[in-house]
Structure 1
Amino acid sequence: MSDKASAKKKKIVIFASGSGTNAENIIKYFQNSDSTRVLAVFSNKKFAGALERAHKLNIKALHFDRDAFYKSNEILNLLKDMNPDLIVLAGFLWLFPSNIIKQFPDRIINIHPALLPKYGGKGMYGSKVHETIIAEKEKESGITIHYVNEKYDEGQTIFQATTTISENDTPETLAEKIHSLEYRHFPKVIQQLLDEKN
């Protein structure tokens, strides 16, 4: 592929705080794409599995602290230089600062492991979500992909997918069902959003 064709590729930057299975799934989905590439994975955790997975897949992996994210413009300036078409939050636990949101309007999305607006907000992430949903004896759960605004999990919904919860489900088995939905749908929704930006 020529440099000119490569330069026209849509660019994704991923933010992740945890093990990075969603980040890895997205990277692999776009690995051989002619139209899209993942530029980098950012994490607020120095030893996050997400950074290790990015390294192994030859994707730039960057760690940052609270000052770089909230006080200085270090991360904002890095993102400006990269100019991604989409910033994807894949298990990223910090609230996104308003200066970055304003710089990239309708270009930051998040995935949440429940059917928002239920079971969202500060502190509702990972196993805590599944434990609460099982305790509430819900009959279904799912994933929500949404735009990011200045409040946790309150941005406009882009996509939802559901799964049923059986009486025998535990937080662990529900987590497996949710992960399956995430891996199946998240890259496709990202692709659709990027296609719409043409």
Structure 2
Amino acid sequence: MDNKKYRIALFASGSGSNAEKIAHYFTNHPSVEVGLMLCNKKEAGVFDRMSKFPQVVSRHLNNKDFRDGETVLDILREHHIDFIVLAGFLLKIPENLVKAYPKRIINIHPALLPKYGGRGMYGHFVHEAVIENDEKESGITIHEVNEAYDEGAIIFQASCQITAEMNAEELAAKIQQLEHQHFPKVIEEYILNFREHL
């Protein structure tokens, strides 16, 4: 068993509720820690949430830096990052980043993939489409990230029922509960299992 502490970088674009849950979960964890948060929106709420975690370095990068990938890679290496977790991050991950972190980039999607995935399918757009199509259930999918939107290998799914009177906002609240309940634990299991197979 190796004693290395595995370091996570969080990528976020919005309010950061998942990022906060993950950072809290891994505070004082024996094997995994969050060391870095990168965000493409200067005014995003995630910066306020991350200010509660002094061990996490938070930085803003513009969309060009994220799309190019080289600046991001330099920062990840500087902070000795082993895994990347997308916590409400809306940009496509460039190929050079995927190649540098094979099977070490994890995303959460607010639907049961392969349904309701792909370009433009995020946040309320997903929930509105699910409701409009009279689906009886939705849920979350945690998956590996590859070069295509929402097409990496599925790691974990959890579902919730949709009632006839439910609207998109109510569904979003149920999905967020599932995200907060499962995402940190699944990240932990994935990283520790990954370590066992190195």
If the TM-score is normalised by the length of the shorter chain, which range does it land in? over 0.9
Shift of the 159–72 alpha-carbon distance from structure 1 to 2, 3 Å rule, reads closer
Partner of 2:95: 98
Instruction: Spell out, residue by residue over 1:104-135, the C-alpha distance to the aligned partner (whole angstroms, 9 max, x if none).
Output: 10000100000000001111100111011001
Partner of 2:24: 28
Q: Distance in 1 between matches of 2:186 and 2:15?
A: 21
2:178 to 169, 172, 181: 181
1:127 to 110, 124, 127: 124
Contact kept, 8 Å, 2:11 with 2:85, in 1: the verdict is yes
| Residue aligned with 1:145, SS | strand
TM-score by length of 2: 0.93
Q: Distance in 2 between matches of 1:60 and 1:81?
A: 12
How well do the aligned residues superpose, as a CA RMSD in angstroms? 1.2
Paired residue total: 192
Partner of 2:43: 47
The answer to whether 1:79 aligns with 2:76 is yes
Q: Distance in 2 between matches of 1:114 and 1:84?
A: 28
Partner of 1:150: 147
Q: Distance in 2 between matches of 1:189 and 1:168?
A: 31
Shift of the 33–71 alpha-carbon distance from structure 1 to 2, 3 Å rule, reads closer
Q: Point out where structure 2 has 5 or more consecutive residues left out of the alignment.
A: none
Partner of 1:9: 5
Show structure 1 runs of 4+ deviating over 6 A.
none
Contact kept, 8 Å, 1:115 with 1:160, in 2: the verdict is yes
- Cα distance, 1:72 vs. partner? 6.4
Percent identity for Structure 1 against Structure 2: 51
The answer to whether 1:196 aligns with 2:196 is no
Q: Distance in 2 between matches of 1:72 and 1:41?
A: 15
Q: Distance in 1 between matches of 2:57 and 2:190?
A: 23
TM-score by length of 1: 0.93
